[in-house]
Structure 1
Amino acid sequence: MSEVTHEEAVKTMAKIIKDVKFAMLTTRTAGGELYSRPMTTQEREFDGDLWFIGSKDSEAVADMRERPQVNVSFSHPDKNNYVSVSGMAELVEDRAKLDDLWSDFYKAYFDGKEDPNIQLIKIHAQGGEFWESSGKLVSFFKMAQSAVTGAKPDMGKNDTVKL
């Protein structure tokens, strides 16, 4: 068992996430089923929140509008690194943030940054788990509370497992 601080956990998750181009965003449908979709990972440092760009008329956005509890998973099997983040989705309208996140990649999905169908999605992380190639499994919870309050979360104990 080892102790991992909130800062160390976020730093490790950020390191893993930055190497993964696409994440799987899981929502709950109106019928109660879990449904996952690929989303482009933003080239931003993970700080406890995740950002995505989606379509206002998509089923994913409709799901998040009604049932904001989500999970986002990142997988880099070549490095044997994985991250799972649970949190609450917020649908955001913020022109400055769109300018910050926009890349030419999105031209394949939208008619430029002015497309009225663009929806910013902010995931407020509440908890997460990551696995590193070293074989350490580190769990941490209460991340959202810490992100909101700035207080150091109770990280609990962390297990080491061989993968």
Structure 2
Amino acid sequence: MNSQELKDKVLQVLENNKVGTLATVKNNRPHSRYMTFFNKELTLYTPTNKETHKAEEIEANPYVHILIGYQGEGVGDAYLEVEGKAEIQEDKELKEQFWNDYMKNWFDGPEDPEYIILKITPEQVRLMSKGDTTPQTLEL
């Protein structure tokens, strides 16, 4: 598969899956949690609270790992392994872009100072897809 076909498959997995795991490093050990991801041209965004452990962990070590796409149907489900670098974003436009009413459970609105966006810039994406025995790597 050429790089454009691989990129198209990666984008398809991101389009069809919003929930995945985000792993950070805490005390030299991985720390994972489920997050909701939004894709914009292979850059991933996820909302969170600035007072969470993940925000502290990213400030100490910005390198993260994301698993997204496995749907629990069994061996062979397509999913992605994303290695990237995270940044904390407090940009008003980004916060408004990714705001939805579901977040009212945690924040007063998009202007809430505790509400931040994590921007994850992938450095490498591995696609595991049905029938493949080894990952196909999209270098970025």
User: What is the CA-CA distance between 1:114 and the residue it aligns to?
Assistant: 1.8
* 1:26-76 deviation per Cα after TM superposition (whole angstroms, max 9, x unaligned): 0001x111000111122x45x221111111000001000110010011122
Paired residues, number: 136
Aligned equivalent of 2:80, options 83, 86, 94: 83
Unaligned runs of 5+ in 1: 144-163
Measured in 2, the distance between the counterparts of 1:101 and 1:22 equals: 15
Q: Residue in 1 aligned with 2:29?
A: 33
Which structure dedicates a bigger proportion of its chain to strand? Answer: 2
Larger radius of gyration: 1
Q: Residue in 2 aligned with 1:53?
A: 47
Say what the alpha-carbon RMSD is for the aligned residues: 1.7
In the superposition, the TM-score normalised over structure 1's length comes to: 0.76
Misfit runs of 4+, over 6 Å: none
Q: Residue in 2 aligned with 1:122?
A: 119
Q: Residue in 1 aligned with 2:2?
A: 4
User: What is the CA-CA distance between 1:22 and the residue it aligns to?
Assistant: 1.1
The one-letter amino acid of 1:21's match is K
Identity of aligned residues (%): 23
* 1:128-163 deviation per Cα after TM superposition (whole angstroms, max 9, x unaligned): 111222x134422531xxxxxxxxxxxxxxxxxxxx
Unaligned runs of 5+ in 2: none
3-state DSSP of counterpart to 1:57: coil
In the superposition, the TM-score normalised over structure 2's length comes to: 0.88
Q: Does 1:72 align with 2:69?
A: no
